[in-house]
A and B are shown apart, each in its own frame.
Chain A
């Protein structure tokens, strides 16, 4: 069977861990994967009443609410810009796409050590000082929450180019006749054409981009871990789970419970979103 090896791997490395984890989540399992004491739903109750875990869900919500629309708008903007250029198109496309090559860890290093470092030699503070504004401690305090600016710009820089390519591909597929027809109907170039032709034609791509952005946001770990490792604020769910399961306590029982709560939540949101945006319709049948 062609699918055999893949299926076996899928079962061993995806389904079994999930099942095992479901089982572990009902036990007291600290620093060990052979659980000792059955505790029923206690781990779940612990996680759901645990302020830190619930706060992390809130952090994620804020993060997604900022990063998804902003990235959508920036990548679409870049695509429209590049699409309209007549020469040096490939050059600009490459420049915007290039950051996709950089890892979150490397980008976090640049952001933390060189752009948004709290001290004066950071680029952001150097620029602020030029304008006579005092230096800002970007990551050192949750109040005011400047760390969001750092977190969001990292992701924007790294991801926009990738989604720009998807939009560019979609823009090239819009038939030129549509624009001609619109011009004949008296639509003004610019906003009107964009509003009534371009945007609706990009609907499918937009939906997919939003879904991909949300999924990527759920997985946010690297930049939070690296930028805010020593702080107690700005922890999305994955960082919180990492600390629970692999931090000092090595609490696999509660970690597993948390992972399952998160999985259920993601499935629910994905399904709901699929319903709302009509994504995935017609998929699955062949």
Chain B
């Protein structure tokens, strides 16, 4: 892509553009720099009177100190988040893609009613239903359990909606060929549609995983025992816990964002396409 009127832009214009981009980039990167600097420094360096750009000596020991800190079970919370993230993602993909496929393809007389039921839930932000959902989940006895943390989040009206829109655009001819060969709806879905939609599934998977990993309100409400804390809840506990040291807080922050930053860096181009595709089209 060339810029619409880029050809005749002078050197001065270019310099201006790149200066602006550079300044913005520095502003956007400062928080990342601060995390790394603070994570690998001593408290004295972080809170010192004099601003230091880099720690005098890199404190790798902060990592082991974080994982052996008895006040916050950080390692445990990482495991919880990973397990929840993976199961949440797989479950959402399965349930929502099937539903989206059914809504897009299978003629059924109440399909429109069902679809409006789904659309209605889009109007009610999930965060507003946390009080009612908490009431339900606590009466099921699922508080502080993996079930309580994972299952209620699987039924995303928005993801179902995205799948439906995607399947509506999926070439029908491919499926019809499969049907002629004697496959049922499910066979066509599983053997033809899914293998040909891996890009889309993967994009949704990344987006679902990211939002699951970064979720805070629901894990805060449900994960009442320390054993059931996710990374985000553990991080948040540092804000109220006065005894924890700065270097541990920032090491924990750094470790909590590392997996996602790696995903973003390596899947960059492809992730951007996914977001642009699944976002909204004009």
Interface residues of A (CB under 8 A from B): 1-3, 5-7, 9-10, 12-14, 16-18, 20-21, 24, 33, 78, 81-86, 90, 92-115, 119-121, 123, 126, 157, 161-162, 165-166, 168-170, 172-174, 176, 179, 183, 189, 193, 202-205, 208, 212, 215, 218-219, 221-222, 225-226, 229-230, 238, 241-242, 245-246, 252, 255-256, 258-259, 262-263, 266-267, 270, 284, 286
Contacts and interface: CB of A to CB of B under 8 A. Distances in A.
Contacts of A109: 235, 238-239, 249-250, 253
A124 to B, nearest CB: 11
A105 B216 contact: yes
A273 to B, nearest CB: 11
Interface in B47-76: 47-49, 51
A90 B268 contact: yes
A165 B5 contact: no
Contact of A165 (B221, B238, B272): B272
B260 A101 contact: yes
Interface string B81-118: 00000000000000110110111001000000011111
Given A20-B132, A266-B128, A1 B102 contact: yes
Given A97-B272, A259-B129, 7 more contacts: A1-B102, A21-B131, A95-B25, A98-B28, A106-B257, A221-B217, A284-B116
B185 A2 contact: yes
B152 A259 contact: no
B38 A21 contact: no
A94 B28 CA distance: 11
B30 interface: yes
Contacts of A226: 236, 239
A99 B27 CA distance: 11
Nearest to A18: B132
A205 B31 CA distance: 29
Contact of B34 (A16, A20, A24, A123): A123
Contact of B124 (A18, A24, A106): A18
A10 B103 contact: no
B29 to A, nearest CB: 6
Given A86-B6, A109-B253, A13 B152 contact: yes
A13 B276 contact: no
B253 A17 contact: no
Contact of A266 (B96, B125, B246, B249): B125
A281 B50 CA distance: 58
Contacts of B235: 103, 105-106, 109
Contacts of B275: 162, 165-166
Contacts of A21: 129, 131-132, 135
Contact of A9 (B25, B155, B189): B155
A5 B98 contact: yes
A121 B17 CA distance: 33
Nearest 8 interchain pairs by C-beta? A2-B102, A21-B132, A6-B99, A17-B132, A204-B282, A169-B276, A103-B214, A9-B155
A190 B276 CA distance: 25
A205 B249 CA distance: 39
A120 B257 contact: no
Nearest to A173: B282
Interface string B122-154: 011111111111111011000000000001101
A86 B2 contact: yes
Interface string B206-220: 000010011011001
B192 to A, nearest CB: 15
A47 to B, nearest CB: 12
Contacts of B124: 14, 18, 263, 266-267
B127 A221 contact: yes
Given A2-B106, A97-B268, A103-B214, A110 B35 contact: yes
Interface in B1-58: 1-6, 14, 17-18, 20-21, 24-25, 28-32, 34-35, 38, 46-49, 51
B282 A238 contact: no
B135 A101 contact: no
A67 to B, nearest CB: 16
Contact of A81 (B17, B128, B279): B17
Given A17-B135, A166-B275, A169-B276, A82 B221 contact: no
Contacts of A179: 4-5
Given A85-B3, A103-B214, A179-B5, A3 B98 contact: yes
A197 to B, nearest CB: 9
A242 to B, nearest CB: 8
A263 B128 CA distance: 7
A165 B273 CA distance: 9
Nearest to A222: B216
A123 B26 CA distance: 14
A61 B173 CA distance: 50
18 contacts: A2-B106, A2-B189, A5-B95, A6-B98, A10-B157, A14-B155, A17-B129, A20-B132, A20-B136, A95-B25, A100-B210, A104-B214, A105-B235, A106-B232, A113-B246, A256-B132, A266-B124, A266-B128
